[in-house]
C-alpha cells in the first residue's frame, strides 16, 4: 500500500510521516506541498520523494493521502484526491465552512472513497478506557461534562494558524473540535444548542484572531457540557496536552486527563518545557486505522461526518459569540 502526504503546513504531518513509515507493508510514497522549499526540506529529512504538485503525487496512484494543509485548503485537496479515486485522511478541523464540509462529504461519497478525520484522541488509551466504562454503564446516565483543550498560541511556528483567511478562526476553531468529537462519541447523541464567548485577552497586541473561548453545549439527551478551548498556555510551555474531561453521572464522577502519561522536562538548551509522553501512540493507532479501513474496504472508526459535526459545533460557537445568543443546531 502507498500513502502520500499533502502539505507540511500542519505540525502533525511530521508525526504522521513517522507513523506511515513504521507500518508493515506500507510505503511512504512522498510529499507534495504548495511551499516547495518546505516540502523539499521535509522530504529530505524523511528520505522520501518530493512532488512538485499534488497532481504529480496522485499520478503515481497512491492508495491514500493524508491532508495536512491549511484548514481552508482541505476542500480543494480532498476533491482532488476523491476525483483520482484516492482515500483521504484529513487533518482537523475538516473545513472552515458548512458548504466546504458538505462538499467534501459529497465528493468522497460520489467517488466511493474513504474520508476519515484526523481525531487521534479517539485512539488515546485513557480516552478509550472511559469509553469502555460508559458502554458498560459504569457511570449510568451522564448529567454534565466540564472539559478543556488548552495549549499555546501556535502562530510563532505556524503563522497561518492566526490568519483567519487560512485557519477559519483562532483558538475556538483550533481547539473545539477534538473535545466536541469525544463528547459526541461518549454520549452517542448530537449537540442541539451552543452558547459561546470568545476573547483576545492573551496575545492581543500580536494576534488578530480569538485566543480564548468558552463553549456551553446542550445535547439532545439533555446533557450539558462546557469547554475551555483557549490558547492559554505560556509560549515557553508545552504546545498541546491540556485535554481533560470531568464527567458527572448518576453513579459517580470521573476525571479524564488524556495526557497524564508524560514527564515534563525543562532545560535551557531547548528553550521551553517539553512534554515527554510515554503512553501509547494515538497518532500511530489512528494512521493504522486509516490503512486498515482501506485494506478491509470498510468505513473508518472516525468518519468525515464525525469531522463535519465537530466543525459545525465550532462554527456555532463563533455565531453565538458574534450575536450574544444561543445557536441551535444543525446549522443551515
Domain boundaries, the chain: 2-113, 122-280+303-328
Spatial contact of 320 and 313, defined as CB atoms under 8 Å apart: no
Please give the grid coordinates belonging to residue 28: 511512504
Q: Give the pLDDT confidence score for residue 266 in this predicted structure.
A: 72
Q: What phi, psi does 30 have (nearest 5°)?
A: 155, -170
Cα distances (Å, whole numbers) of residue 67 to 79, 88, 95? 11, 7, 12
Q: Distance between CA 137 and CA 135 in Å, rounded? A: 5
**Interval 192-231: pLDDT, tens:** 999 999 999 988 889 999 999 999 999 999 999 999 999 9
- How is domain 122-280+303-328 classified at the CATH fold level? Dihydrodipicolinate Reductase; domain 2 (3.30.360)
Sign of CA dihedral 249, 282, 307, 13: positive
- How is domain 2-113 classified at the CATH fold level? Rossmann fold (3.40.50)
Which residues, 6 or more positions from 314, have their beta carbon under 8 angstroms from its beta carbon?
Answer: 93, 169, 172, 173, 176, 177, 180
**Interval 94-112: pLDDT, tens:** 999 999 999 999 999 999 9
**Residue 254 DSSP label:** E
**Interval 122-134: pLDDT, tens:** 999 999 999 999 9
Please give the grid coordinates belonging to residue 133: 466504562
Which residues, 6 or more positions from 129, have their beta carbon under 8 angstroms from its beta carbon?
Answer: none
Predicted TM-score (pTM) of this structure: 0.94
Give the range among 168-172, 223-227, 274-278 with minimum mean pLDDT.
274-278
Amino acid at each position: 500500500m502507498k500513502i502520500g502526504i499533502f502539505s507540511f503546513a500542519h505540525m502533525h504531518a511530521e508525526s504522521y510521516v513517522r507513523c506511515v513509515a513504521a507500518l508493515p507493508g506500507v510505503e511512504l510514497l512522498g510529499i507534495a506541498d504548495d511551499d516547495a522549499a518546505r516540502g523539499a526540506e521535509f522530504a529530505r529529512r524523511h528520505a522520501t520523494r518530493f512532488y512538485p504538485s499534488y497532481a504529480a503525487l496522485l499520478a503515481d496512484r497512491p492508495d491514500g493521502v493524508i491532508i495536512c494543509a491549511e484548514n481552508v485548503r482541505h476542500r480543494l485537496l480532498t476533491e482532488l484526491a476523491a476525483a483520482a479515486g484516492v482515500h483521504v485522511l484529513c487533518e482537523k478541523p475538516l473545513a472552515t465552512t458548512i458548504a466546504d464540509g458538505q462538499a467534501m462529504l459529497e465528493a468522497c461519497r460520489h467517488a466511493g472513497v474513504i474520508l476519515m478525520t484526523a481525531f487521534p484522541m479517539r485512539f488515546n488509551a485513557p480516552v478509550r478506557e472511559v469509553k469502555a466504562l460508559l458502554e458498560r454503564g459504569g457511570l449510568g446516565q451522564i448529567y454534565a461534562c466540564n472539559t478543556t483543550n488548552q495549549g499555546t498560541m501556535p502562530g510563532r511556528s505556524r503563522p497561518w494558524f492566526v490568519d483567519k483567511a487560512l485557519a477559519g478562526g483562532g483558538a475556538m476553531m483550533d481547539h473545539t473540535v477534538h473535545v466536541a468529537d469525544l463528547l459526541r462519541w461518549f454520549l452517542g447523541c448530537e449537540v442541539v444548542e451552543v452558547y459561546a464567548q470568545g476573547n483576545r485577552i492573551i496575545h492581543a497586541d500580536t494576534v488578530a484572531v480569538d485566543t480564548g473561548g468558552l463553549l456551553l453545549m446542550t445535547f439532545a439527551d439533555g446533557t450539558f457540557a462546557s469547554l475551555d478551548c483557549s490558547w492559554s498556555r505560556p509560549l515557553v510551555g508545552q504546545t498541546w496536552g491540556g485535554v481533560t474531561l470531568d464527567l458527572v453521572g448518576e453513579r459517580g464522577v470521573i476525571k479524564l486527563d488524556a495526557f497524564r502519561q508524560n514527564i515534563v522536562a525543562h532545560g535551557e538548551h531547548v528553550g521551553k518545557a517539553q512534554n515527554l509522553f510515554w503512553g501509547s501512540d494515538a497518532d500511530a493507532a489512528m494512521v493504522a486505522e486509516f490503512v486498515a479501513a482501506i485494506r478491509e474496504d470498510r468505513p473508518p472508526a472516525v468518519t468525515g461526518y464525525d469531522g463535519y459535526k465537530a466543525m459545525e459545533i465550532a462554527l456555532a460557537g463563533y455565531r453565538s459569540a458574534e450575536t450574544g445568543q444561543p445557536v441551535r443546531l444543525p446549522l443551515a
